[in-house]
Amino acid sequence: MVLSIARRSWLAAISLGAVLGPLPAHAEWPDRPIRFVVNAAAGGAADGTARVLAEGLSKRLGQAIIIDNKPGASGVIGLEVVAKAAPDGYTIGNANLATYTVTALTAKSLPYDPARDFTPIARQWTQPNLLGVSPKLPVKTVAQFVDYAKAHPGEVFYGSTGTGTALHVLGALFGNLSGAHLTHVPYKSAPAAELDLSTGQIQMMFSNFTSMEPQVRAGRIHALAITGPTRAASLPDVPTVREAGYPALEMETWGGVVGPANMPPAIVDRLNREINAVLADPAVIKKHENLGAKVAPASVAEFKQMLDADSARWGEVIKRNHITLE
């Protein structure tokens, strides 16, 4: 029997398939560069930690990780880019407590919903804050500061990096817990607030450890406590907030990686494993320490659980104190 041309072509295709096996529906991820959106300007700590991670991740994935800085609007601009990207694993972004969690809770409106429009991928680092006071105050401990504030109602001002920011919220929580009347004064940056703190224009503030620690060592600011679970090696005499009698003030800011909603679970799991492997590298650990951060790898589930817990915790403080982002 003579086979038709179509019949012979079909049989040939079947034979070739038996030899080569099934062809993939799409190329294996990643087969091209990955964009890493950083919602902060180049040169800062957030940018620095992102670049450290990108370098190590690029080596492990065999593809370039391209940093795309999108600063502005308290981190909203960069996160919006991530939220609206295709969920194919080729756009990821950085997130942290201030820009991801607190902004979402204090902003009057956002172009995205953090609970709906992102995929948590990995936690990268943590860092404590310092509770600092003006050296002009006659206090040496948190308890003494609280007594001073209660004895001088309306005369104790605390600074932050702006109304509705994480440092504002933390200061408000301290006022709630201590019962002291503290008046908030917003600044455009931590260094600007710390300068006024050192000269006595304001009396207290919580600030990022990396920013305030040099001022403390120089004697321009007196640190009363650190918000992390342990004391800092560079400031061994500064107690933790738990040791100072305020365990509910214990917190560490964090940085992590997120992607658009509905990313394929296999890609999310792969990214999480590779990021955690990068964070286990002693050289990477050291680079984070040089930027004032501590690597903090976690599973996808652990990272999401932390995000949910943070949202509940800080949402309560924000609601109680009627805080909105300006």
Q: Which of 249, 273, 298 is the last residue of a domain?
A: 249
- State how many domains the chain has: 2
pTM to 2 decimals?
0.87
Phi, psi of 281 (to 5 degrees): -70, 125
pLDDT of residue 45: 87
pLDDT of residue 27: 65
How far apart, in Å, do the first and last CA atoms of the chain sit? Answer: 83
Q: What is the pLDDT of residues 170-199, one digit of tens each?
A: 999 999 999 999 999 999 999 999 999 999
Intervals of the chain under pLDDT 50: 1-26
CATH assignment of the domain containing 143: 3.40.190.10
Q: Is residue 78 situated within a structural domain?
A: yes
Residues 112 and 82 in one domain: yes
Residues 196 and 154 in one domain: yes
Q: Is residue 175 situated within a structural domain?
A: yes
Sign, CA dihedral 173-246-199-181, equals positive
pLDDT of residue 326: 75
Residues 65 and 210 in one domain: no
Q: Is residue 4 situated within a structural domain?
A: no
Q: Are strands 222-226 and 129-133 parallel, antiparallel or unpaired?
A: antiparallel
Q: Answer yes or no: are the C-beta atoms of 181 and 156 closer than 8 Å.
A: yes
Q: What is the pLDDT of residues 22-35, one digit of tens each?
A: 434 346 999 999 99
Residues 121 and 133 in one domain: no
Q: Answer yes or no: are the C-beta atoms of 79 and 112 closer than 8 Å.
A: yes
Residues 278 and 237 in one domain: no
Q: Are strands 253-260 and 118-127 parallel, antiparallel or unpaired?
A: antiparallel
Residues 117 and 160 in one domain: no
Q: Is residue 13 situated within a structural domain?
A: no
Residues 122 and 262 in one domain: yes
Q: Which of 199, 229, 249 is the last residue of a domain?
A: 249
Domain that holds residue 113: 34-127+253-320
C-alpha distances out from residue 193 to 21, 173, 186, 243, Å: 65, 19, 8, 26
pLDDT of residue 241: 98
pLDDT of residue 211: 92
CA neighbor of 301 nearest in space, from 252, 268, 275, 279 = 268
CA neighbor of 180 nearest in space, from 158, 207, 206 = 158
Residues 42 and 148 in one domain: no
Q: Answer yes or no: are the C-beta atoms of 89 and 259 closer than 8 Å.
A: yes
pLDDT of residue 300: 98
Q: Is residue 276 situated within a structural domain?
A: yes
Measured distance CA(161)–CA(103) in Å, rounded: 13
